[in-house]
Structure 1
Amino acid sequence: MAEPAVNAASAASAGNAESTTEPGSGGGGTSSLRATVRTLAETLWFPAFFFTGFLVCYLLPFHNPVPHHVDVAVAGPTASQLEHALDQKSPGAFDIHQVADARAAHDAVTGREATAAYVPDPKHPQLYVAKADGYSLESVLQKTFTAVAQQSGGQLQVHEAAPTAPGDGMGTGLFYVVLSCTIPSYVSVMMLLRATTFGRRKKVLTLVGLGVVESLVAYFVARSMDVIPDEPLAIPLLFAFTQAVALTSYGLVPFFKQFFPGVAMGLFVLLSMPSSGGAIPVQMVPGFFRALHPVMPMGNLIEGLRGLFYFDGKDVWRHALVICAWVLAGVVLIALGAWKERYAARKEARRAAEAEQRGEEPLAVTAPEPPVEDPSFELPQPSAVAPHTHRLGQRPNLTGRVTDERGEPLPGVAITVTGTHGRELVRAITDEYGEYAAAGLPDQFVNVIASSPERLAAVARVQAREGRPVRQDFRLDRRPVPAARV
């Protein structure tokens, strides 16, 4: 809570101690160029990062998708000969393993032991495929094994071992269902950073509530369009995924600060989508993205839903565990962020107490870390607001009243809020009732200075807290009348 206000006119002057010196004429051009470059770098790093990320993470894996190590079960003793022939034509495209017969070939596909299965026959060779794994991969398999069948004089018969839902003709419906839960979960965190009246607990509860709504709406909308089968167990999977994205994103905020948007978008958009196997099957993207597929939450959700909907629940538990691990990681990050904040507050209070014991000014403490900046959405800036009428998102986190020695309100008193190194954050004027308010203050210790020409200034150091409005009242005494000179 706030410390008692003290009579310290010198502190008020210290609050304005930060000044800017104009560069000399000889270095003015260089300083101006540096300032311009720095401004551009700070402003444009995020779109530049996004531009580069899309080129590397989308154009690179999607411009020419080709199969890589696609598992194919082949019935009969000709498996080794077929593998050699395919390697000659497309090195590394297919991994062939032998199964006993046509029934075993079919079961290998439905049991997710193989992506496809081929049964050689001089007249009627058969290919078992799973459209649930992606239409583009199914097309490549049909084209490849049609050519194989024609070389032996037969006509290929294609059997759909795992057809998709009627409304998912291209086999990409799951990707868009999952995508609808990805972007909003991340954007919700960015928007909640603006809610200065919400503390950490309320923000986490809000993210949980939004996840419930997103998972339910996504499931029932997709069901109404026949994009997915009727399997309600998909709802908890969708919910766990929303929390994996939202809680992990929120947990990253205290550690990456103004770079948080780049880190979160890099994780859950630039890296997750190409490696998910939803838009382009994972067997058709470069090795880097194939390596990410087993660990990223989006890929695990898509594989888990595929197993739940089309493969009799095969390996759903394994993918669910990976998603839950991301949720746990988010919870741990949030807890570490809270500990980091409390540790910084205790350290700041200790420094201030030691400084007070030495008789030093309370302003002479270590500067806090800068607040998080969001390059995509404008976060609330410290600003003076009317004490009793507040716009949406502009509720104050600092209020107070200024009175005279008789307890009467003092209008027109200047209230200056500075950071711990004297940088002015906001300036307000008390109204006719002697009241003032400020919103958007960073989550840190600030100095509040009340000053009026006819009265002695007063200063107090308070800790502005997100979601916990703090009140600081002042009493200003009249300046003593100097004694007349003889």
Structure 2
Amino acid sequence: MADHAKHAEHAEHAEHAEQRAEPAQGPASSLPGTVRTLASTLWFPVFFFAGFLVCYLLPFHNPTPHHVEVAVAGPSAGQLEQALEQRSPGAFDIRQVADADAARDAVTGRDATAGFVPGGKEPRLFVAKADGYALESLLQKTFTEVAQQSGGQLKVEDVAPTASGDGMGTGLFYLVLACTIPSYISVMMLLRATAFGRRKKVVTLVVLGAAMSVIAYATARGMDVIPGDPLAILFIFLLTQAVALTSYGLVPFFKQFFPGVAMGLFVLLSMPSSGGAIPVQMVPGFFRALHPFMPMGNLIEALRGLFYFDSKDIGRPVLVLCAWVVVGAALIALGAWTERRAVRAERAAEAAEEPLSEDPAFELPRPSAVTPHSHRVGGQEPTLTGAVTDEHGRPLPGVAITVTGTHGREMLRASTDERGEYAAAGLPDHFVNVIASSPDRLAAVERVLARDGHPVRQDFRLLPRPAVVAGVPGAGVSGAGSH
């Protein structure tokens, strides 16, 4: 009978908890809240899904050549251009050079993608596999047909072959990709390190970028994916800082939308326009236009020039990478200045002795604790709500709730009511730290984004402090968590 009574009591508590959890509004009035919750939660995966469809399926599903520059030796360049234009409009840009040596030099000097020497039984084609295996294959196929129409057998010479471990010519793309995405993810992870200030986070990004650059170069070199040239480490380091510092600098300006902006810049737009997986001459015009400006494409161009073309034309892409680093540093400095200005303004407002307003409705809201589930007319709507329970899900009354800014300045203190619930109003529109603490339990802390008009809920589950057993180190280890 005692067990039945206990079960009945637990069922009653669960029923009351469910009733408290259910919104007071009806289905019609709760629909806008549901829509807002879904929109704020699912916008990033929806954005990523649409981005992959547009930025990957569109340029990669059917690569076709666009304005591939070919140096043709001899006076027949004009006739060849007309024939290719009729077959594939806009695919090739033909320019005439003096002889076979000039056609070859145009390719090795990066003035043309290919060189063609027509005439005779053995017309020659100069290609550079370093510019991309797909482009090399396309050129061989096209000019083999041209040679066969004139009764010749095409002879192909690769004047810039890739390293022995890079059979498909895409090794540089995967090397650059391996340093791009972790640089962005590092920023995402460091945002959780609330104990680190801005300076420590920047130093961490710099040190991490240097380590990744050395390890990536050594790994690729050990696999024979790239030739040996230690200057590549500096170029890779510039990319890591271009992505990491710019991403970190964007955080204060885009806040909760930062993941979408950074992923859009450095993944969705950078990868298709990089010319690494698919040569840039074979993607749509929008991505070809982005190629000279995005970090991934510029690092690939710099490494191609360094490894395979005797450092030809590496100055411009290196300068573009440096420009991205400068932009990132400027964004970080601007964000710091904006934050300091806001803090000074807030302190000045707190210190100023303002006269009381005749109409309290016009006073600016200040951070304050409010009674949970209180709906007084004219009262402040809670910005932050939540509940604190023990390890069994039972409410914990009297738990201290402290809200601090990102720099540790205390904004307000509250305590949970008899149902373990708390509420706060008037919080500023930025990230705050919420700390739940009780003398006999392990404290828990979470970082939340407070937004006026969009209440946020943060629940905590506090576990008991570890029991101390004499002579047994580490006995009774436990922890605290939030949900």
TM-score band, normalised by shorter chain: 0.7 to 0.9
Q: CA deviation at 1:421?
A: 4.5
Aligned counterpart in structure 2 of residue 39 of structure 1, from 37, 40, 44: 37
* Paired residues of 1:382 and 1:426 also in contact (CA < 8 A): no
Rate the CA distance shift 1:94–1:428 in 2: closer, same or farther, 3 A: closer
Q: CA deviation at 1:35?
A: 1.4
Alpha-carbon distance in 2 for matches of 1:425, 1:212:
31
* Paired residues of 1:415 and 1:427 also in contact (CA < 8 A): no
Alpha-carbon distance in 1 for matches of 2:156, 2:334:
54
* Paired residues of 1:208 and 1:243 also in contact (CA < 8 A): yes
Query: Is structure 2 residue 325 aligned with structure 1 residue 327?
Result: yes
* Residue type at the aligned position of 2:126: Y
**1:242 paired residue number:** 240
**1:93 paired residue number:** 91
Alpha-carbon distance in 2 for matches of 1:383, 1:115:
65
**1:111-190 matched pairs, under 5 angstroms:** 111-190=109-188
**2:81 paired residue number:** 83
**1:466 paired residue number:** none
**1:287-306 matched pairs, under 5 angstroms:** 287-306=285-304
Alpha-carbon distance in 2 for matches of 1:296, 1:415:
49
Q: CA deviation at 1:344?
A: 1.1
Rate the CA distance shift 1:426–1:170 in 2: closer, same or farther, 3 A: closer
Rate the CA distance shift 1:443–1:31 in 2: closer, same or farther, 3 A: closer
**1:430-441 matched pairs, under 5 angstroms:** 431=439, 439-440=445-446
Alpha-carbon distance in 2 for matches of 1:77, 1:249:
52
Query: Is structure 2 residue 286 aligned with structure 1 residue 278?
Result: no
**1:199 paired residue number:** 197
Q: Where does structure 2 lack aligned partners over 5 or more consecutive residues?
A: 1-20, 368-384, 389-405, 414-419, 451-483
Work out the percentage of aligned pairs sharing the same amino acid: 67
**1:13 paired residue number:** none
Rate the CA distance shift 1:123–1:260 in 2: closer, same or farther, 3 A: same
* Paired residues of 1:418 and 1:426 also in contact (CA < 8 A): no
* Paired residues of 2:128 and 2:159 also in contact (CA < 8 A): yes
Query: Is structure 2 residue 256 aligned with structure 1 residue 252?
Result: no
* Paired residues of 2:386 and 2:422 also in contact (CA < 8 A): no
Task: After superposing the two structures, state which structure 1 stretch, 299-308 or 38-47, moved more.
Answer: 38-47
Q: Name the count of aligned residue pairs.
A: 387
* Residue type at the aligned position of 2:236: L
Alpha-carbon distance in 1 for matches of 2:310, 2:428:
65
Task: Describe the SS at the equivalent of 1:71.
Answer: strand
Q: CA deviation at 1:122?
A: 2.1
Alpha-carbon distance in 2 for matches of 1:205, 1:415:
40
* Residue type at the aligned position of 2:189: M
Task: Describe the SS at the equivalent of 2:189.
Answer: helix
* Residue type at the aligned position of 2:110: R
* Residue type at the aligned position of 2:99: D
TM-score normalised to the size of structure 2?
0.74
Task: Describe the SS at the equivalent of 1:195.
Answer: coil
Rate the CA distance shift 1:75–1:427 in 2: closer, same or farther, 3 A: closer
* Paired residues of 2:436 and 2:443 also in contact (CA < 8 A): yes
Alpha-carbon distance in 2 for matches of 1:119, 1:309:
26
Cα RMSD (Å): 3.4
**1:302-381 matched pairs, under 5 angstroms:** 302-354=300-352, 356-358=353-355, 365=364
Alpha-carbon distance in 2 for matches of 1:188, 1:23:
42
Alpha-carbon distance in 1 for matches of 2:165, 2:147:
31
Alpha-carbon distance in 2 for matches of 1:350, 1:37:
39
Task: Describe the SS at the equivalent of 1:96.
Answer: strand
* Paired residues of 1:181 and 1:215 also in contact (CA < 8 A): yes
Alpha-carbon distance in 2 for matches of 1:308, 1:177:
15
Rate the CA distance shift 1:421–1:178 in 2: closer, same or farther, 3 A: closer
* Residue type at the aligned position of 1:233: L
Deviations 1:61-100 (A, max 9, x none): 0000010000000000000110000000000000000000
* Paired residues of 2:387 and 2:422 also in contact (CA < 8 A): no
Q: Where does structure 1 lack aligned partners over 5 or more consecutive residues?
A: 1-19, 369-380, 385-394, 403-413, 445-486
Structure with greater contact order relative to length (CA < 8 Å, sep ≥ 6):
1
* Residue type at the aligned position of 2:167: G
Deviations 1:239-268 (A, max 9, x none): 010000000000000000010000000000
Aligned counterpart in structure 1 of residue 60 of structure 2, from 59, 62, 72: 62
* Residue type at the aligned position of 2:46: A
Alpha-carbon distance in 2 for matches of 1:87, 1:276:
27
Please list every run of at least 4 consecutive aligned residues from structure 1 whose deviation after the TM superposition is greater than 6 angstroms. 20-24, 381-384, 414-417, 422-425, 435-438
Rate the CA distance shift 1:21–1:340 in 2: closer, same or farther, 3 A: farther
TM-score normalised to the size of structure 1?
0.73
Alpha-carbon distance in 2 for matches of 1:178, 1:146:
33
* Paired residues of 1:173 and 1:228 also in contact (CA < 8 A): yes
Q: CA deviation at 1:31?
A: 1.7
Alpha-carbon distance in 2 for matches of 1:336, 1:123:
66
* Paired residues of 2:434 and 2:448 also in contact (CA < 8 A): no
Q: CA deviation at 1:22?
A: 7.1
